[in-house]
Structure formats: C-alpha cells, structure tokens
C-alpha cells in the first residue's frame, strides 16, 4: 500500500518533468522554456546590455576594445587584422547568432532540420539550385587566398568562441522556442551566406516563362509585348558615354531553334522587388564642394535585420558601415578616404538547358554529337521528427539538373540543367576587403575586379573629389537573345562563349552632369556593344532620382535625406490624369465622387496620411489585371508585360486586342477598362473600410510590416506609419523596402548618416531589437562616426574588452 | 512550523540549484525536502506547491516587471494570450504543480522506510 502511495505522486512528478522537458508539436518544452532562471525570461533584457564585459577568448593575439554607442553600434579597435576579424565574428554572433545560422541553413537547404518536413521542398530546391554547390567552390577559393583565408578562419574562430561560451540560459530565444542548439560555425557557412545574397539578388530568371509565352504568342507578339528595351530609357550609365574599346564578338548561330519545352512547375523565385537606389554627387553640385554619396538597398523587411552596422578599426583599416552577419568586413560604408554603395545590377545571369539523357540511368547525356558523362551526387536531408531523405542530383557541364521527373516535374517531366554565374568559384570577400581599405579611385577600381556575383552597381565618392559608378560583375558574353529562352543543351553553340572582359563593363567617372545614379534600371543605352538582357528592369525610380539630381544645386546632406524619403509616384503622374479624364462623371455614387475628388486633387505623393494612393493602388492593380486578363489563371503562371508597354498600349494603342476582356461578351474599349477598374477600386476600398476598424489612409492600407525571419507575428512590427511604395524612391511597400539608408558627405571631416528598419540586437527581448524602426519611418538618421581614436567617440553606453586566454 | 521550514528550504535550495542546474533540479530539491522534513500528505504537497510556485511566480514577475514585459508580452502573444502577466501565472502554476507532487513523492519515499508514528498514536 505504501509503495503505491509513493509510486502515484512519484510517477506524476516524473511524467511532468519528462513531458515538460520536450517539445510537443509547436509548443516548446514548457519546463525549460518557462523557467525564470534560464528559460525565455533570461532573454528579457529591455535596455540592459547583457554582454560579458571581459570575456577571455582563445586564439586572440592581443586584447580588443569594443565601445557600443547609443544605438548599440560596436566600435571595434584591434591591434591587428587577425584580432579584428575574430572580434567581428564574436561580436556579430553575440548579437545575431540565431539569424546567422538560420540564414545559412536556408541557403544550404537545411530548414527541414529545424521545422520538419514542411521545409523539404524548399530545401531540395536550394540544393538543386546549387547554393551549396556554389558555396563549396567559393569557400575553396577564399580559403586559398592568402589575404582572405586567414581572416576568414579568424572570423570563424570568433563566432565559435562565442558559441562555446553559451549555456542554455544564454541561447537566443528562437533556439529555446524551436528547441534546438547552435552548431559550430564554419567557413562554408560564410560562403553560404554570400550565396544566400546571390540568390536573393541574382537568383531569378524568366527563361521558362518566356519559352511558354513564345509558344503561346509566337515570336512577333512576344517581341512586341516583351521587348528587350523600351524607348526613352534613362540607363545607369548616362547616354553621353561613348564606348572607347574594341568589343569581343560572339557569332549568333545561323539556325536557332529554341526547344519549346520548359519546367512548368518552378520553385518560388526571389522577390523581383529586390533592388536599390544609389547615387553619388560631384562637389560641383554640393554645398561643401565635396562629393556626397547615398545608398538604400531594398530588400524584404525582416527582423533581425539583414544588416548589422559596425565600425572596424585596426592599423590597416578604419571602416564604418553595414555588414552582413556571416560575412567579413563592411559591405556598404565608408572609411577616411572613400565611400561606396551598391544596388542590384539587374541582369540575367542564369540560363537553362534542356538535357537529353541516353537512358534512365542518366549516366550520359547528348552533347555536340557525343555522349558525355554526368556526375551523380546524392544529397542527404535530415528532417526533424522524420526519416532522412535522399535526393539524387545529376551534374552536366552546364551545371546541376534542377528540374526532372523527381523534382517539381510538372507536365513536361523533362530534365533542365542550370548554368549560373553563382556556381562559379569566386572571391567577392576580397572586393570588400580592398574597398574597406581603399584610398582612391584606383584602389576602388582594382577592388571591383574580384567581384563576380550578384552583380552590383557600385557607386563611389572620395575625399579627393572623384565620383564614379561601375556596373560590376561577371557577365556572360552572349549572342543576341542567348539565354532568353530555354536552350538546347546538346548544342555547343548554345553554351556561353566566355565573359565580357572586366574593363568592358559599363562605368563612368566624373561625368559632366555632376552626378551618377542607379536604381535597377537598364544598365546602358543601345550603343553598348554587348548583348544584355533582363526580365525586369525598373522604370520609375531612376527617372525621378535623375530629374531631382539634375535640378538640385548646392546640395546638402538634408537634401539627400529628403530625396531618399521622396514619395513621389512617377507612375501615377504618368497614367492617372488620362484615366481620370476619361471617367464618366455623371451618375457617380457618393463613394465614387469621394474617390474621384481625392484622386483629382492628388499631388502624386504617396504620403502615409494621404488617401488618394489607396485608390490608385487598387485602381492600377485592377486596370492592369483587366488589361492583361489573358495572362492570369493560366495553367502555369507566366510573367506579364512590364509597365512601359502597358502604359504605351493604354495611351497609344486603342486597337490592341488585349484590351478586350475575355470574360465578357461585349468588346471593351480603354475607357471601359478605366471605368470598370475605377468602380471596382471604389468597391474594394468600401469593403476595406467596413472590414478594418482603421482610418483609411495610405500607411494603414498598405500595412508595412517588418517580419521576424521565422514569421512569428509576435516578434514582428506591423502597421508602420510610413509612405512610399514600389516604383517610388522611398520604395517601402507592405513587406519590402529600404533595408539600410546611408548618406556620406566626403567633406573634412567626413559626415555620415544612417538608419535601418530594425535594431542592432537580434533579441526580441531587447529594446535594441527594433528601436530604429520609428526613426526610419520618420525619415530620421543617426550620425555615424568612424573616429580612428576611441577617446573621440561620443555617447558610449557600454564597453567590452576581449582578452586573450591566459596561458 | 514544519510546513514553514520545509517551504523555506524548498525555496532556498531550489533557488541556488536553478542558478547552476537545469530546471528539473528544483524537483529534486523539493523531493529531498519532502523526505527530510515529514508531515502529512496535504501538508507536504502544499509546501512544495507553494514553495516552487511562489519561487517561479516571484522571479518571473520581477523579470516581467523590470523589463516592462518586453518579452513576456510577446511570448504571451505567441501563446494566444493578451498580456505577459499570464506567462508569469502559467510559470508559477507549472512550478507549483511540479513542486507539490515532487515534495509529496519525497515524503512518500521516506514512508517506504519509516513507520508512520502519527498513525499509531491517534488511531
């Protein structure tokens, strides 16, 4: 009896302990998690800074001092480069460990290790798309580089020293919530992070869609609706540039037949909105007589932020700017002599080849009249709570077979190999290493020669007064239309003949107009001697920026801040008046009258409090959809015509057959489309009003959200009060926008300002997790000081000394 | 009196144990406290219940309060609750239940080896 009386409470206790020490579905292990001593409570920091003040670090050569300023930007002072990069690794991990690991797991196709089998399709695509394959090659090249190799190793050690110091209590909250532990950092992870960015910025293409459209429309209609370039473009490199070199040529094969097969179940592509603005203004146009540089990269708005801001100082370098957690050095920033900023040099660098195998074994494929051998690699996927999954990937000389009958076969069930510049060995870290130390234009130009992918427009300004902009990266040398459609993988003349020589990449230095800018538009005008193609150049931000820069004189830093926050919708200004003119003003309902009045009185500023942009947003979406209804609801999603051709048709081609809506019996005119779209837009807004208890204005309507990487809404910031939109300089849409704003005036001493939608801490329990969002949305900036002397720093709130382990 | 002493021992021992050991180490403390200082079933159960419950409740409340609920509010939202204070209460309840049963099992463990003197005297 006594034994049962013991056993009963004892078993309950045991069951509770065992049960609450493990994860149940989405619920974290509650015992561990709710423990006030080491559970999630231990991550509640608020304004406290929980860093260890004097951590001992194995492998440091000397002690390193770190001063944190009022927004928790670390100013790192080291006595040598080894220690500097070791400290960068340590400090970045201290603030952003979970993010570092999560992003590289994503790049490496290992998300299912954390979230289970829901992540498998994503993971398989990542591996087949070749991010791991590319990262392995890049890491080999980085490790062999005498400059990058040792500091990459030091960075890795720094991260691992931090990881080794952690007990459960110190783990970032996400590990506790998802119940797993950080693993050791490796140089490969740094490589993966760079490929993660390459995929974000250069991982999309429309070859399959183009092929489908070619089949659907025929060549003539395709060329009309999807031209390579439009009239009146304003390219990155001004039209005044003359090409003073002998271009290499590549023969277009006589008989080209694009195989009209395509992967018809493609994996999700990176957001085509990923883009950016940058500009650099010559001293002749500024109030100080010295150049000003501005940059704001547009990416998905995430928490923890993609950027971590740092000041790195050693005897060889004194650089300040935005870093990528996981990568060495500063990516966008300035030192005592130069400043630089990047935008995506939008250009197609991914081509697809239709592959014919000899048999089901896939050991050989047909190429140039012969059978070539494939390489077969079996990839293992560990799945949380499930058995391992194995995927066989075949490699051709083009690259990996991404789509076949085993992966997203679609209806075509055929094999497509991917050729992508991100698969080639490259050492982009060396570019940033040299830029961080650049003293003049020649240093900058030399640094860029090591940069391959993702291609970027590097804007430059220095204290000597030079400004420049290079459209920089490794671009395939192509015959006209090569790579626009799926190509026949058995023909040698479909392969890339080589690459455009570095020195033939488009650039400009100190132009007469006194400024240079880029905003993901077409890089050059039609006189550039090399064929270049992309599915989605931007057509509005660039023109607005250039128009402003052209008219502004005596430019100040404040002018540049205003320009970065400019909400003018050039798109609306170009189409809305003609829409409004053709609307029937009689017989309008009350809500329609209100909408009409709002739109007619609109100054085209998509400001947060404005009402008109809400009507325009839906009106334009509906109009676009009504015009191109033939392109919606197809069995396979296709791309749709770009904005310039859309507007051209609306304004100048009343007989275009697409204007007729296929769903109706009557034949619509453009005016009918306008009328229909206006009415449906007003209806949608009325519905929005009754569904939402909020005031109707632009920021409430678009609901800009900075979302946690694991999509936990509790860790995200929603409904941020900010204007802007796609195709507007302040490119803030619902989930996307300027991820870092920086302005650097190259006066003496250099004045620099920056802000980003997030915070330096990766901990949702810290005040510094999202404290910069409000300033960002208000268009406010923080001063960035790269004082080479620590004693000159202002507003230091915390100091940390990394000390070498005593022997 | 024994109740108060046992409760205090549970609180102090668990507090120090939790600084260095995993969360379930507090159950071991409660178990031993129950075994060392005997009482009645309900009496031991409640000293564990109140001891560990109060410990977690108070510690969690201090953190919740000092940090202005910066994280507890967010975690509460993840659990579908409106305020971080609920996380304080849930933590307290969870520790209380574990405390109650482990103290009781400690006491019943002791009973496996020693005779129940009270029973002989009064029945």
Contacts of A759 in chain B (CB under 8 A): none
CA B76 from centre of chain: 22
Contacts of B60 in chain A (CB under 8 A): 34, 36, 41
> At which residue do the structure tokens 């231990």 appear?
A42
Cα separation of A545 and A556, whole Å? 15
Enumerate the β-bridge partners of residue A350.
A420
- Contact assignment for A37 to B18 by CB distance below 8 Å: yes
**Phi and psi (nearest 5°) for A308?**
-130, 125
Q: Chain A residue closest to B108 (CA)?
A: A6
Cα separation of B33 and B4, whole Å? 12
**Phi and psi (nearest 5°) for A351?**
-125, 150
Contact A32, A176 (CB under 8 A): yes
- Contact assignment for B63 to A36 by CB distance below 8 Å: yes
Cα separation of B49 and B75, whole Å? 25
Half-sphere exposure of A474 (CA within 13 A, CB side): 20
CA nearest A545: which of A511, A586, A515, A525?
A515
The answer, yes or no, to whether residue A603 has pLDDT greater than 90, is yes
Average pLDDT of span A396-402: 96
Cα separation of A40 and A169, whole Å? 8
Element (H, E) at A278: strand A275-281
Contact A97, A762 (CB under 8 A): yes
CA nearest A475: which of A152, A250, A740?
A250
Q: What is the pTM of this model?
A: 0.94
pLDDT at A569: 97
Contacts of A44 in chain B (CB under 8 A): 63-64, 66-67, 70-72
Enumerate the β-bridge partners of residue A716.
none
Q: What is the mean pLDDT of chain B?
A: 90
Cα separation of A222 and A535, whole Å? 13
The answer, yes or no, to whether residue A70 has pLDDT greater than 90, is yes
The answer, yes or no, to whether residue A656 has pLDDT greater than 50, is yes
Alpha helices in A145-294 (DSSP H): 148-164, 173-178, 187-202, 207-217, 219-225
Cα separation of A13 and A26, whole Å? 23
CB atoms within 10 A of CB A593: 12
The answer, yes or no, to whether residue B111 has pLDDT greater than 90, is no
Beta strands in A644-797 (DSSP E): 704-708, 717-720, 736-738, 741-745, 751-755, 782-784
- Contact assignment for B98 to A17 by CB distance below 8 Å: yes
pLDDT at B118: 53
Contacts of B98 in chain A (CB under 8 A): 13, 16-17, 20, 31
pLDDT at A275: 84
Tokens of A87: 């400290």
pLDDT tens sequence across A403-418: 999 999 888 789 999 9
Contacts of A45 in chain B (CB under 8 A): 67, 70
Element (H, E) at A507: strand A507-509
Predicted complex: ipTM over 0.95: no
pLDDT tens sequence across A488-527: 999 999 999 999 999 999 999 999 999 999 999 999 999 9
| Helices A612-627, A670-691: crossing angle, 10 deg rounding | 130
Number of A–B residue contacts, CB under 8 Å: 113
pLDDT at A55: 95
A510: left (phi over 0), alpha (psi -120 to 50) or beta: left
The answer, yes or no, to whether residue A471 has pLDDT greater than 70, is yes
Enumerate the β-bridge partners of residue A472.
A456
Average pLDDT of span A196-212: 93
Average pLDDT of span A80-97: 98
Interface of B with A (CB under 8 A): 18-19, 22-24, 27, 31, 45, 56, 59-60, 63-64, 66-68, 70-72, 74-75, 77-78, 87, 90-91, 94, 97-98, 101-102, 104-105, 108-109, 111-112
Enumerate the β-bridge partners of residue A637.
none
Dihedral angle computed from the Cα positions of residues B95, B100, B102 and B103, in that order, rounded to the nearest 10 degrees: 120
Confidence of residue A633 (pLDDT cuts 50, 70, 90): confident
Average pLDDT of span A655-671: 77
Identify which of A3, A10, A44 has the shortest CB distance to residue B67. A44
Name residues whose C-beta falls within 8 Å of residue A217's C-beta, 6 or more positions apart in sequence.
Answer: A225
CA nearest A379: which of A703, A670, A128?
A128
pLDDT at B120: 43
Residue ranges of the domains in chain B?
Answer: 2-113
CA-to-CA dists, residue A33 to A175, A264, B10, angstroms: 10, 45, 21
pLDDT at B121: 42
pLDDT at A122: 95
Identify which of A21, A764, A766 has the shortest CB distance to residue B24. A21
Average pLDDT of span B2-30: 94
Cα separation of A380 and A377, whole Å? 10
The answer, yes or no, to whether residue B11 has pLDDT greater than 70, is yes
Asked whether the CA dihedral A571, A572, A574, A576 is positive or negative, the reply is: positive
pLDDT tens sequence across B43-77: 999 999 999 999 999 999 999 999 999 999 999 99
The answer, yes or no, to whether residue A381 has pLDDT greater than 80, is yes
Average pLDDT of span B8-13: 94
A368: left (phi over 0), alpha (psi -120 to 50) or beta: left
Q: What is the mean pLDDT of chain A?
A: 94
Average pLDDT of span A103-132: 95
Contacts of B94 in chain A (CB under 8 A): 20, 30-31, 34
**Phi and psi (nearest 5°) for A563?**
-65, -40
Give CB contacts under 8 A, 24+ apart, made by A639-642.
Answer: A639/A206, A639/A209, A639/A210, A639/A213, A639/A226, A639/A535, A641/A225, A641/A226, A642/A226, A642/A230, A642/A536, A642/A537, A642/A539
pLDDT tens sequence across A534-547: 988 999 999 999 99
CA A509 from centre of chain: 27
Average pLDDT of span B8-35: 94
Average pLDDT of span A467-479: 96
Name residues whose C-beta falls within 8 Å of residue A720's C-beta, 6 or more positions apart in sequence.
Answer: A699, A704, A705, A706, A757, A773, A777
CA nearest A549: which of A782, A237, A292?
A292
Share of chain A above pLDDT 70, in %: 100
The answer, yes or no, to whether residue A310 has pLDDT greater than 60, is yes
Q: In this structure, what DSSP letter does residue A285 have?
A: G
Contact A116, A386 (CB under 8 A): yes
The answer, yes or no, to whether residue B41 has pLDDT greater than 90, is no
- Contact assignment for A10 to B94 by CB distance below 8 Å: no
pLDDT at A339: 98
Identify which of B74, B90, B108 has the shortest CB distance to residue A714. B74
Confidence of residue B123 (pLDDT cuts 50, 70, 90): very low
Q: Chain A residue closest to B22 (CA)?
A: A32
CA nearest A528: which of A122, A130, A242?
A242
Sheet holding A350-355, edge to edge: A401-403, A415-420, A350-355, A487-488
- Contact assignment for B19 to A37 by CB distance below 8 Å: yes
Contact A444, A468 (CB under 8 A): yes
Identify which of A6, A30, A177 has the shortest CB distance to residue B111. A6
């Amino acid at each position: 009896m006594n034994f049962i009386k013991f056993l009963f409470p004892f078993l309950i206790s045991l069951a509770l302990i065992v049960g609450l020490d493990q994860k149940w579905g989405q619920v974290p292990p509650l015992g561990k998690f709710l423990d006030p001593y080491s559970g999630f409570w231990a991550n509640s920091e608020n304004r406290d800074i929980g860093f260890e003040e004097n951590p001992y670090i194995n492998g440091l050569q000397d002690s390193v001092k770190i001063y944190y300023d009022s927004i928790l930007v670390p100013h790192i002072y080291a006595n040598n480069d080894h220690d500097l990069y070791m400290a960068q690794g340590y400090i970045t991990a201290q603030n952003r460990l979970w993010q570092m690991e999560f992003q590289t797991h994503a790049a490496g196709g290992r998300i299912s290790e954390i979230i289970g089998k829901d992540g498998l399709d994503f993971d398989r695509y990542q591996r087949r798309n070749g991010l791991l394959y590319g990262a392995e090659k890049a890491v080999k090249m980085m490790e062999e580089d005498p400059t990058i190799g040792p500091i990459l190793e030091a960075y890795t050690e720094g991260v691992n020293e931090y990881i080794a110091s952690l007990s459960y209590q110190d783990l970032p909250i996400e590990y506790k919530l998802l119940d797993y532990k950080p693993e050791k950092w490796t140089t490969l992870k740094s490589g993966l992070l760079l490929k993660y960015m390459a995929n974000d910025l250069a991982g999309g293409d429309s070859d399959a869609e183009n092929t489908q459209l070619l089949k659907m429309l025929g060549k003539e209609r395709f060329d009309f609706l999807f031209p390579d370039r439009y009239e009146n473009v304003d390219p990155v490199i001004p039209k005044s540039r003359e090409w003073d070199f002998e271009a290499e040529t590549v023969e277009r094969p006589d008989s080209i037949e694009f195989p009209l097969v395509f992967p018809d179940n493609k994996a999700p592509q990176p957001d085509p909105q990923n883009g950016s603005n940058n500009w650099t203004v010559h001293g002749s146009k500024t109030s100080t007589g010295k150049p000003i540089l501005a940059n704001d990269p547009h990416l998905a708005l995430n928490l923890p932020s993609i950027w971590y801001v740092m000041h790195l100082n050693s005897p060889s370098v004194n650089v300040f700017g935005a870093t990528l957690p996981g990568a060495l050095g500063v990516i966008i920033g300035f030192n005592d002599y130069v400043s630089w900023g990047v935008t995506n040099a939008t250009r197609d660098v991914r081509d697809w080849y239709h592959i014919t195998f000899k048999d089901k074994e896939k050991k050989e494929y047909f190429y140039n009249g012969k059978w070539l051998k494939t390489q077969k690699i079996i990839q293992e996927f560990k799945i949380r709570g499930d058995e391992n999954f194995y995927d066989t990937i075949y490699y051709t000389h083009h690259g990996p077979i991404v789509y076949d009958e085993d992966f997203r076969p679609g209806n075509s069930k055929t094999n497509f190999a991917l050729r992508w510049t991100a698969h080639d060995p490259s050492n982009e870290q060396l570019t940033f290493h040299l830029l961080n130390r650049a003293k003049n234009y020649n240093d900058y130009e030399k640094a860029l020669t090591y940069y391959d992918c993702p291609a970027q427009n590097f804007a430059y300004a220095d204290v000597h007064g030079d400004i420049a902009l290079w459209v920089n990266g490794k671009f395939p040398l192509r015959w006209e239309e090569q790579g626009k459609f799926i190509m026949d993988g058995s023909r040698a003349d479909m392969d890339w003949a080589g690459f455009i020589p570095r020195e033939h990449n488009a650039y400009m230095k100190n132009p007469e107009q006194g400024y240079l800018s880029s905003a993901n538009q077409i890089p050059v005008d039609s006189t550039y001697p090399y064929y270049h193609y992309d599915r989605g150049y931007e057509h509005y931000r660039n023109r607005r920026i250039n128009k402003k820069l052209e008219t502004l004189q005596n430019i100040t830093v404040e002018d540049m801040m205003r320009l970065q926050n400019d909400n003018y919708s050039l798109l609306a200004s170009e189409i809305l008046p003609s829409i409004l003119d053709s609307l029937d003003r009689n017989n309008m309902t009350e809500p329609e009258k209100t909408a009409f009045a709002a739109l007619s009185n609109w100054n085209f500023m998509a400001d947060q409090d404005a009402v008109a942009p809400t009507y325009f947003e839906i009106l334009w979406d509906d109009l676009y959809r009504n015009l191109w209804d033939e392109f919606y609801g197809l069995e396979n999603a296709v791309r749709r015509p770009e904005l310039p051709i859309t507007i051209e048709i609306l304004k100048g081609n009343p007989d275009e057959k697409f204007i007729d809506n296929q769903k109706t019996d009557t034949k619509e005119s453009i005016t009918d489309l306008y009328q229909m779209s206006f009415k449906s837009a007003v209806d949608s807004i009325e519905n929005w009003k009754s569904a939402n208890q909020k005031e109707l204005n632009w920021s409430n309507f678009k609901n800009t959200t900075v979302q946690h990487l694991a999509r936990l809404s509790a860790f995200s910031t929603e409904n941020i009060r900010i204007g802007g939109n796609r195709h507007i300089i302040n490119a803030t849409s619902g989930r996307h926008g300027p991820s870092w704003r920086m302005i650097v005036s190259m006066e003496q001493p250099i004045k620099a300002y920056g802000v980003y939608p997030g915070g330096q801490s990766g901990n949702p329990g810290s005040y510094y997790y999202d404290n910069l969002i409000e300033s960002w949305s208000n268009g406010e900036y923080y001063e960035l000081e790269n004082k080479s002397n620590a004693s000159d720093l202002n507003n230091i709130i915390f100091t940390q000394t990394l000390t070498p382990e005593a022997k | 009196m024994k109740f108060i002493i046992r409760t205090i021992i549970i609180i102090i021992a668990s507090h120090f144990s939790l600084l260095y050991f995993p969360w379930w180490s507090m159950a071991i403390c409660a178990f031993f406290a129950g075994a060392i200082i005997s009482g009645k079933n309900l009496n031991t159960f409640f000293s564990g219940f109140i001891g560990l419950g109060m410990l977690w409740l108070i510690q969690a409340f201090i953190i919740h309060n000092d940090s202005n609920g910066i994280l507890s509010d967010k975690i509460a939202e993840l659990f579908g609750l409106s305020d971080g204070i609920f996380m304080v209460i849930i933590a307290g309840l969870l520790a209380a239940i574990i405390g109650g049963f482990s103290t009781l099992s400690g006491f019943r463990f002791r009973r496996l080896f020693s005779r129940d003197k009270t029973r002989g005297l009064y029945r």
